[in-house]
Chain A
Amino acid sequence: MSFPWAKEYTPTNPVMRFFDEKLPLPRLVYNAVGAGYPVPRNLSYFWNFGVLAGFFLVLQIVTGVVLAMHYAANAQVAFATTEHIMRDVNWGWMMRYAHANGASFFFIVVYLHIFRGFFYSSYKAPREMIWLLGVVIFLLMMATAFMGYVLPWGQMSFWGAKVITGLFGAIPLVGEPIQVWLLGGFAPDNAALNRFFSLHFLLPFVIAGVVILHIWALHIPGSSNPTGVEVKQESDTLPFHPYYTAKDGFGLGVALILYFALVFFLPNTLGHPDNYIEANPLSTPAHIVPEWYFWPFYAILRAFTVDFLFIPAKLMGVIAMFGSILIWFFLPWLDKSPVRSGHYRPMFRKFFWFGLIPAMAVLFYCGGAPAEEPFVMLSQIATAYYFLHFLVIIPIVSQIEKPEPLPYSITEAVLGSDDKAVLGKNAKTAA
């Protein structure tokens, strides 16, 4: 579905006409990311990150497939084949650094995409399904990234795998059998490495499938926008191509400059030195830390240090860590404010900038720091705020807040008044 004024695909040459009759793939692309998709005209650069996330997914799949041609998922040789890629495979070092830092950039753009969604309440009706699918993509990304980090079979690979699979051991009664079943043994070894490799290869294609559903669901109501006012008329929109292809093209250029600066000049900055030591089950690293993109959730896991009544601290940490993401699924039904954009929501905006963002920053920092004071105490306060923010503050604020006045339309927000719209043939004036 689309707006009635969406341009229709008209093939101009016989080859495309042939295709359009037999398999309307060009039409699909035209309507998805071409001139056939009308998009609100006021999108800011915060709306670039969806396209960028798609780009980094493709980049990860391409570099990953090449790396898989040279890597061997066997605990005896995995570390050595990684070094073989770095030393002897032509441009292997570039492929591996591009893949490792590509994962980091994938998470950077996805985090910005998610926080754009938080601030502009992109999860609200009629876009709940887009949001739900997005949370699924994020969970799949986390699983994929975790298993990918295990593959080089360095010290952090091994001990990270041991800690994370150990979380399943916290489940009462059946925890340990489940952990042994997941690992294929009592500790991470060849069986675990092999299945992690298999799943690490599979899951990106599952992500790609869910991404298609995510975009499909997006095209039902169309994109949200910074005012949160729905599209009313043709002058509120611009065709995706050429306007947003051009804008995304510039955004992609900026992202690639930052990305390649990291790949070529600081490729190990975001990694941990211990992962250049081969996995050794007999030697525990001083501080086991996951990759930076897991730090906030790792801090939540470690915030629960004391048994509470009959709940063991470890189980509570595991529930909180998984729960901290699963609660995102309920956001569309927790936030009942009729206004979407944080720009017009004074209380919501304050809690976002002075509550959620600092809490996430504290969790991020403490997740990467050793499990000592004051980091543990800081992460306990931030964890408490994190859950209060989504489960208590958002429902209550959305009930009691008095939103600021909204513009009548997107056109009015951009051009000052509805009559000034240039591109609208059917533009109505504000009544």
Chain B
Amino acid sequence: MTKLLSIRLVAILVGLGFAVVALYSFVVGAYAAITEEAPAHLPYEEPRDIAYSFDGPFGKWDVQQLQRGFKVYNEVCSACHSLKFVAFRDLEQIGYDEGQVKAFAASKQVPGIDPNTGEATTRPGLPTDYFPSPYPNNVAAAAANNNAIPPDLSLMTKARHDGTNYVASLLMGYQEPSAELLAEHPEAAPAPGLHHNPYFPNLNLAMAPPLTTAGQVTFDDGTEATIEQMATDVAAFLTWTAEPTLVKRKQTGWPVLIFLLFATVLAYFSKKQIWAATKRKAA
């Protein structure tokens, strides 16, 4: 008994000890919060909410849109950004036939080995090859881009909060910083070589506006290539590159959920029936 009492006495002392130390940190922190000014956050904007065909539980790819987005990537983004987890063969999933994929792959030069000398060289791509990187290595990428390495785009829409909307908003968002912003946050003025964009967390990024004029890309399906159109289409394409199985995933989900719903209803009624006898009073 005395032993148990002492265990609880020790516990009470230890508990008070933890509480005192935690509250000491609290008091010091509260004092600092009152006397010192908290570092101000730069006010960046949440991505715009754009409607896509693959949104929601019944979403499907818009193949035309993916092809348009692919064209924007190929003609604009691929100058600086790699797409290393996507193979040419994957393009068959967005509506290109085998011949088109072969021809497109062959139009790209990929790293290879000279069969006669064994020296590093390049060769035309095959459908099994992956999209080649525009730079031989990160040092070259940094040297060509004001020391900022253009990130790989394969997973970009999954690697940012609200990624698809973020990519589209960012591409459409380049603008001059407003006078109010500069008055309140002088540090938000873009440094040389940086560009203002309210959707980028610290408001200034090294990437120059990539989509500058309507008609920069000519779409095969005749859609007018406004900046908004190009930005939303390439964001859709990058959603596909980030998760090619997105639509298959949603389509698999429905039969699974319908089966489980049915099984759970059955389980509920069998539980009710089995338990019925136990709720009855004796006659």
Contacts and interface: CB of A to CB of B under 8 A. Distances in A.
Interface of A: 41, 80, 83, 86-87, 93-94, 97, 238, 242-243, 246-247, 249-250, 252-254, 256-257, 260-261, 263-265, 267-268, 273-274, 276-277, 286, 303-306, 308, 311, 313, 316, 320, 323, 327, 330, 333-334, 336, 372-374, 376-377, 380-381, 383-385, 387-388, 390-392, 395-396, 415, 419-423
A373 B252 contact: no
A304 B4 contact: no
B260 interface: yes
A245 to B, nearest CB: 9
A333 B1 CA distance: 11
B235 to A, nearest CB: 15
A273 B163 CA distance: 9
Name A's interface SS: helix
26 contacts: A87-B85, A246-B271, A247-B275, A249-B271, A253-B268, A257-B260, A265-B253, A273-B161, A276-B155, A308-B24, A334-B7, A334-B11, A374-B33, A376-B29, A380-B23, A380-B25, A380-B29, A381-B23, A387-B18, A391-B11, A392-B16, A395-B11, A421-B282, A422-B278, A422-B282, A423-B278
A131 to B, nearest CB: 16
Interface in B232-283: 242-245, 249-250, 252-253, 256-257, 260-261, 263-264, 267-268, 270-271, 274-275, 277-278, 280-282
B201 interface: yes
A304 B24 CA distance: 9
Contacts of A419: 282
B57 A265 contact: yes
Nearest to A93: B245
Contacts of A41: 278
A306 B29 contact: yes
Contacts, number: 177
Given A80-B85, A257-B260, A421-B282, A336 B243 contact: no
Contact of B22 (A243, A265, A304, A395): A304
A243 B276 CA distance: 10
Nearest to B9: A395
A308 B67 CA distance: 62
B257 A264 contact: yes
A87 B22 CA distance: 47
A79 B83 CA distance: 15
Contact of B12 (A383, A396, A421): A396
Nearest to A247: B271
A420 to B, nearest CB: 5
A313 B23 CA distance: 13
